Structure 1
Amino acid sequence: MYNHVLIATDGSELATRGLVHGLALAKGLGATVTVVTVTEMWSAWDMAHEARMSEHNPVDEYEQRAKAAARRILDTAVNLAQEQQGLDVQTLHVADQHPAEGIITACQSQGCDLIVMSSHGRRGLGRVLLGSQAAEVLAHSTVPVLVVR
């Protein structure tokens, strides 16, 4: 049914639930797995603040921190896949993109036919104020999306 599953994670406890579910599903299907994490572009506001605090190169510092955080998230996902499901997974860090856009870009570039991700399941004002990456992915994806609450 599905041959290549993209599992999106930000390393949070909620995203890990989606990761675990996606790994089990992929194993049951015999599918290839790519785990993706997306880091957003640096904020001009934040960089201006860092520059005032006498950071030498705040953009470079941000990029290094983002890469290190992505590496930790993806290493944790690889370990979880191997320990819980005995799966070898591919990993991908998409830098400098809005999360929903990065997930869709990763899906297209990797040739995935299913996206698995978690959602808080917020409704009403909470969703409007905080946004929903899952809702954006659902709205713009050309492949099925499995949302784990």
Structure 2
Amino acid sequence: MIYKKILIATDGSELANRAVAHGLKLAKELKVPVVVVTVTPMWSALEIAHEARLTKANPIESYQGSAAAWAQRILNEADEQAKAVGVNFELVHVPESAPAEGIIATAEKQGCDLIVMASHGRRGLGRLVLGSQANEVLAYSKVPTLIVR
């Protein structure tokens, strides 16, 4: 299969940055554009209540501002990497979403035919406790997914 547009998912971690580099290299070789996406999760009601008890004036607004700044930092790094490699790219921040859902929805919306993302490869209890966004994407996405470990 020849891919025409690649989505690269990143959370800014060292492992995710390796997936970004891998996806960008693949895109350059195939001469296709990429969409780099980062997803900031929803804030739980318990966290909101805790922050409100600490007399924060508007804890939701504070969280949204922090999440947007965090996402911008991650996307700025991807921007630099994509420019250095010389591929056409678009940067997307999906706020307040479950990561796997945001990745899948963005791939579908942007017409991507390959998702590139990292996986820590956890097994056993670590996988059960922490979950696996990569496994969720593999299980629910109709778009083929390349996992970088």
Which TM-score tier does this pair reach, normalised by the shorter chain? over 0.9
Does residue 98 (structure 1) correspond to residue 105 (structure 2)? The answer is: no
* Alignment gaps of 5+ in structure 2: none
Number of the residue aligned with 1:32: 33
Q: What SS does the aligned partner of 1:90 have? A: strand
- CA distance in structure 2 between the partners assigned to 1:134 and 1:98 by the alignment: 12
Alignment of 1:119-130 (within 5 A): 119-130=119-130
Q: What SS does the aligned partner of 1:77 have? A: helix
Does residue 136 (structure 1) correspond to residue 106 (structure 2)? The answer is: no
Number of the residue aligned with 1:116: 116
Number of the residue aligned with 2:79: 78
* Alignment gaps of 5+ in structure 1: none
**How many positions carry a matched residue from both structures?**
148
Aligned-pair distance for 1:111? 0.4
Aligned-pair distance for 1:126? 1.2
| 8 Å contact from structure 1 (residues 78, 88) kept in 2 | no
Aligned-pair distance for 1:63? 0.6
- CA distance in structure 1 between the partners assigned to 2:66 and 2:38 by the alignment: 14
| 8 Å contact from structure 1 (residues 14, 118) kept in 2 | yes
Number of the residue aligned with 1:11: 12
Amino acid at match of 2:26: L
Amino acid at match of 2:139: A
Amino acid at match of 1:43: S
Q: What SS does the aligned partner of 1:26 have? A: helix
- CA distance in structure 2 between the partners assigned to 1:140 and 1:61 by the alignment: 32
Q: What SS does the aligned partner of 1:116 have? A: strand
- CA distance in structure 2 between the partners assigned to 1:133 and 1:36 by the alignment: 14
Greater Cα offset, 43-52 or 96-105: 43-52
- CA distance in structure 2 between the partners assigned to 1:17 and 1:73 by the alignment: 13
Normalising by structure 2, report the TM-score: 0.97
Normalising by structure 1, report the TM-score: 0.97
Amino acid at match of 1:136: E
Aligned-pair distance for 1:80? 1.1
Q: How far does the alpha carbon of each residue in 1:20-62 deviate from its partner, in whole angstroms, 9 at most, with x for none? A: 0000001100111000000111111111111111110000110
| 8 Å contact from structure 2 (residues 31, 87) kept in 1 | no
The 4+ residue runs of structure 1 with deviation greater than 2 A are none
